């Protein structure tokens, strides 16, 4: 299928947004091919020059490449909705395929989220997010803090900018990849806000279908200030990010066994496993399917937003080795020691 110039423009802007850093034609070519744009590096450069003239991209340096301008980001947001529908579902599939975690060996790469914040806020941020992990409201109990210059996705050379630190959390999509590698296909249906009452999950109060959104649902809820993770952590009542998935009921015994293994690895983000063919928290499942609710990996980031700490969240940010992630309880040692 031949793409129109506008469709090519949208995909180039999308690639730059996805990379989140300056990039040149050679770095963009592979990602563009994955999105149906098979162009030579020379052709990509010509398109980039046009985008420069439109004010949508800006050359940082010949070595580093280009970045999206504010106008470019606005153009991407206003682009054709149907063009962008299912983008998140596509990202999930891509990262699950690239993920290389072995449950039996307890090693390999996991899908991660990043939260960028000012380096001066490091200690305050840790004081805010530790109680969230202690209350078991995150995706497991492991957390990584990276300082400026550190890489959080080697495949795309994504680097923490100067003056910033990155709080790296394990994305709940990791669970899909782990189950898939165990022969269990999982369908991610909704991202939403789950209401807790007296420290027990009660009901979903917001739901967004993954196939019908152009951004991660929890990112949207955080930006709209719809979460109350800190209240949930402190008093047991509040709204936290969670996702609803389903899997073939025949795999239920295996899923329960895997859940126990994940707890030992500090990856215990599974909040609830349903009953075959029965609704879970009021959400129906297909025939021969069982529901699964997983806590959002960005819930600690939501707590930062609620506390007024300026930050920038990016779900599905890349892949990192499991062995790089310490237990959240040990992060105060990392902070004192420095690097």
Question: 120-129, pLDDT tens digit by residue?
Answer: 999 999 999 9
Q: Reduce the DSSP state of residue 34 to 3 states and report it.
A: helix
**CA gap 289, 30 in Å, rounded:** 36
Same structural domain, 35 and 168:
no
> Mean per-residue pLDDT for 242-262?
96
| pLDDT above 80 for 37 | no
Q: What is the pLDDT of residue 61?
A: 84
CATH for 162: 3.30.70.1360
Same structural domain, 156 and 140:
yes
More confident residue, 294 or 214: 294
Same structural domain, 216 and 257:
yes
Kindly report the pTM of this predicted structure: 0.75
**Which H or E run includes 70?**
helix 70-78
| pLDDT above 70 for 16 | yes
Q: What is the pLDDT of residue 214?
A: 59
Smallest CA-to-CA distance from 206 within 286, 282, 314 is with: 282
Using one digit for the tens of pLDDT, what is the confidence trace for 266-296? 998 999 999 999 999 999 999 999 999 999 9
Q: How many CB atoms lie within 10 A of CB 41?
A: 13
With 0-12 CB in 10 A as exposed, 13-18 as middle and 19+ as buried, what is 145? buried
Same structural domain, 111 and 41:
no
CATH for 16: 1.10.10.10
Same structural domain, 46 and 65:
yes
Q: What is the pLDDT of residue 82?
A: 44
Smallest CA-to-CA distance from 300 within 131, 148, 152, 146 is with: 131
| pLDDT above 70 for 248 | yes
> Mean per-residue pLDDT for 180-185?
93
| pLDDT above 90 for 98 | no
**CA gap 186, 18 in Å, rounded:** 24
Same structural domain, 52 and 114:
no
From 52, 84, 116, give the residue that closes a domain: 84
Where residue 338 falls among pLDDT bands split at 50, 70, 90? very low
Q: What is the pLDDT of residue 184?
A: 95
Where residue 156 falls among pLDDT bands split at 50, 70, 90? low
Same structural domain, 225 and 105:
yes
> Mean per-residue pLDDT for 40-57?
90
**CA gap 276, 252 in Å, rounded:** 8
Using one digit for the tens of pLDDT, what is the confidence trace for 54-75? 999 999 888 888 988 988 888 8
Where residue 335 falls among pLDDT bands split at 50, 70, 90? very low
Same structural domain, 188 and 164:
yes
Q: What is the pLDDT of residue 332?
A: 53
With 0-12 CB in 10 A as exposed, 13-18 as middle and 19+ as buried, what is 15? buried
Domain that holds residue 48: 5-84
**CA gap 337, 42 in Å, rounded:** 47
Residues 292 and 242 sit within 8 Å (Cβ to Cβ)? no
The per-residue pLDDT of the chain, averaged, comes to 87
**CA gap 170, 242 in Å, rounded:** 13
Same structural domain, 39 and 111:
no
- Write out the DSSP string of 137-149: -SSSSBEEEEETT
Same structural domain, 72 and 124:
no
User: How many separate domains does the chain show?
Assistant: 2
Q: What is the pLDDT of residue 149?
A: 85
**CA gap 107, 230 in Å, rounded:** 31
> Mean per-residue pLDDT for 249-272?
96
From 39, 65, 84, give the residue that closes a domain: 84
Report the percent of the chain where pLDDT is more than 70.
Answer: 88
| pLDDT above 70 for 317 | yes
From 84, 119, 149, give the residue that closes a domain: 84
Same structural domain, 73 and 138:
no
């Amino acid at each position: 299928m031949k793409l129109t110039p506008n469709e090519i423009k949208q995909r180039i802007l999308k690639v730059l947004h996805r990379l989140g850093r300056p990039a040149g034609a050679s770095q963009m070519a592979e990602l563009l091919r994955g999105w149906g744009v098979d162009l030579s590096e020379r052709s990509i450069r010509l398109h980039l020059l046009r985008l420069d003239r439109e004010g949508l991209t800006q050359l940082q340096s010949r070595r580093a490449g280009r970045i999206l301008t504010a106008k470019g980001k606005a153009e991407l947001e206003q682009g054709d909705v149907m063009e962008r529908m299912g983008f998140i579902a596509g990202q999930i599939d891509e990262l699950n395929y690239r993920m290389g975690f072995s449950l039996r060996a307890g090693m390999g790469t996991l899908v991660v989220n990043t939260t960028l914040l000012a380096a001066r806020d490091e200690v305050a941020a840790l004081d805010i997010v530790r109680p969230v992990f202690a209350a078991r409201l995150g995706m497991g109990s492991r957390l990584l803090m990276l300082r400026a210059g550190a890489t959080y996705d080697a495949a795309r050379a994504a680097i923490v900018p100067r003056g910033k630190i990155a709080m790296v959390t394990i994305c709940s999509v990791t669970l899909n990849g782990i189950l898939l590698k165990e022969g269990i296909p999982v369908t991610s249906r909704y991202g939403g806000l789950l209401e807790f009452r007296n420290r027990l999950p009660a009901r979903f109060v917001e739901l967004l279908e993954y196939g019908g959104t152009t951004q991660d649902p929890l990112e949207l809820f955080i930006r709209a200030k719809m979460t109350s993770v800190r209240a949930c952590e402190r008093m047991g009542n509040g709204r936290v990010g969670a996702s609803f998935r389903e899997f073939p009921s025949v795999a239920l015994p295996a899923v329960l066994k895997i859940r126990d293994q994940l707890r030992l690895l500090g990856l215990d983000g599974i909040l609830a496993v349903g009953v075959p063919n029965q609704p879970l928290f009021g959400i129906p499942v297909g025939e021969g399917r069982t529901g699964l609710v997983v806590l959002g990996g960005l819930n600690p980031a939501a707590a930062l937003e609620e506390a007024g700490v300026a930050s920038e969240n990016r779900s599905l940010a890349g892949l990192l080795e499991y062995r790089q992630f310490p237990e959240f309880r040990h992060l105060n040692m990392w902070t004192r020691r420095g690097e």
